[in-house]
C-alpha cells in the first residue's frame, strides 16, 4: 500500500492496541506501551525464582535461566506471543528483546555470556513462516547487550512434531537428537558461555536438548532466556 493510501486508512481506522484496543501512539506497534508495562512478570520473589529453578535447572543441563513474562497467567502475554508468529514479528520481537535485555542487566545472572544463539527452526518451517521468531528476538537481545549473535551456530536437523500433543516424557523423546552444529569453527563454542534465546519456554524439553548439544560440543556453560515462561 502506498504511503498516502496508508495514511488515509490510518486516519479513518487508527491502529489500536491488540490487547486494550486504545489508539496506538506514534512509535507504538501492535501493543501499547502501558500494556507492555502491565503484563504479568516473573518478579524476583523467592517463590517464583524457586519454582523456575526447580523446574528448569534441577537436572543441571541449563546452568542459569531468566525470563520476563508469565505465559500461563496472562492472556495478553499469550496474545503478544501469537502476534510474534502471525503478523507483528519485527515490532514484537524488538520489544521482547528489549525486556529480556533489561532483565538480564538488572538480574545480572546471565550477563557474562559470550555468544547469543536462538533456538533454531527447521529450514522447511522457517521457509513457510519466512523467519524464525526466536532469531529476531535473539538479534534484538544481541543488539541491546552488545553480545555477538550467531544464528547459524545451532541447526535443527529434523522436523519435530509440535510439542503441544506430548506429555513431558514424550516431549523429551520428540526432540532427542533434533539439533546439531551448523558449519562453524569449533573455536566458536570451546569454553564459551552461551546464551540460548527462545520466545516461550514451556516444559523446557526443546531448550534443554539445544543446551545438551552445545555442551557436548565444547560450550562450558549454557544459559537460557525467553520472553515468556510457563510455571
Ligand atoms: Zn494496550
CA 182–ligand 1 middle distance (angstroms): 40
CA 23–ligand 1 middle distance (angstroms): 8
Give me the count of residues in the chain: 231
Q: What is the CATH number of domain 40-229?
A: 3.40.50.2020
Q: How far is the C-alpha of 212 from the C-alpha of 191, rounded, in Å?
A: 14
Task: Collect residues with CB below 5 Å from ion ligand 1.
Answer: 17, 19-20, 32, 35
pTM (two decimals): 0.92
Map out the domains of the chain as residue ranges: 1-38, 40-229
CA 21–ligand 1 middle distance (angstroms): 6
CA 36–ligand 1 middle distance (angstroms): 7
| Non-local CB neighbours of 65 within 8 Å, separated by 6+ positions | 52, 53, 56, 57, 201, 223, 224, 225
Q: Give pLDDT tens digits along the chain (231 positions).
A: 567 877 777 777 778 999 999 999 988 999 999 999 999 999 877 788 889 999 999 999 999 999 999 999 999 999 999 999 887 788 999 999 999 999 999 999 898 999 999 999 999 999 998 999 999 999 999 999 999 999 999 999 988 877 778 888 888 888 999 999 998 777 789 999 999 999 999 999 999 999 999 999 999 999 999 999 999
CA 17–ligand 1 middle distance (angstroms): 5
Strands lying side by side in the sheet with 64-70 = 64-70, 221-229, 193-201, 115-118, 148-149
Amino acid at each position: 500500500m502506498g504511503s498516502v493510501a496508508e495514511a488515509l486508512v490510518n486516519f479513518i481506522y487508527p491502529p489500536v492496541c491488540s490487547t486494550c484496543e486504545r489508539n496506538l501512539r506514534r512509535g507504538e506497534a501492535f501493543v501499547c506501551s502501558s500494556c507492555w508495562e502491565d503484563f504479568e512478570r516473573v518478579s524476583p520473589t523467592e517463590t517464583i525464582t524457586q519454582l523456575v529453578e526447580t523446574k528448569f535447572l534441577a537436572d543441571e543441563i541449563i546452568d542459569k535461566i531468566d525470563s520476563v513474562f508469565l505465559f500461563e497467567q496472562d492472556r495478553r502475554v499469550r496474545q503478544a506471543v501469537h502476534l510474534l508468529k502471525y503478523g507483528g514479528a519485527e515490532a514484537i520481537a524488538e520489544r521482547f528483546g528489549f525486556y529480556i535485555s533489561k532483565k538480564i542487566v538488572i538480574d545480572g545472572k546471565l550477563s557474562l555470556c559470550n555468544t547469543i544463539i536462538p533456538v533454531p527452526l527447521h529450514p522447511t518451517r522457517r521457509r513457510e513462516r519466512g523467519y524464525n521468531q526466536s532469531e529476531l528476538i535473539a538479534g534484538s537481545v544481541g543488539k541491546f547487550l552488545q553480545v555477538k549473535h550467531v544464528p547459524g551456530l545451532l541447526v535443527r536437523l529434523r522436523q519435530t512434531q509440535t510439542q503441544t500433543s506430548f506429555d513431558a516424557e514424550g516431549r523429551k523423546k520428540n526432540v532427542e537428537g533434533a539439533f546439531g552444529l551448523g558449519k562453524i569453527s569449533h573455536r566458536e563454542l570451546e569454553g564459551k558461555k552461551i546464551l540460548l534465546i527462545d520466545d516461550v519456554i514451556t516444559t523446557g524439553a526443546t531448550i534443554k536438548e539445544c543446551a545438551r548439544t552445545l555442551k557436548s560440543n565444547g560450550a562450558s556453560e549454557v544459559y537460557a532466556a525467553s520472553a515468556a515462561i510457563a510455571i
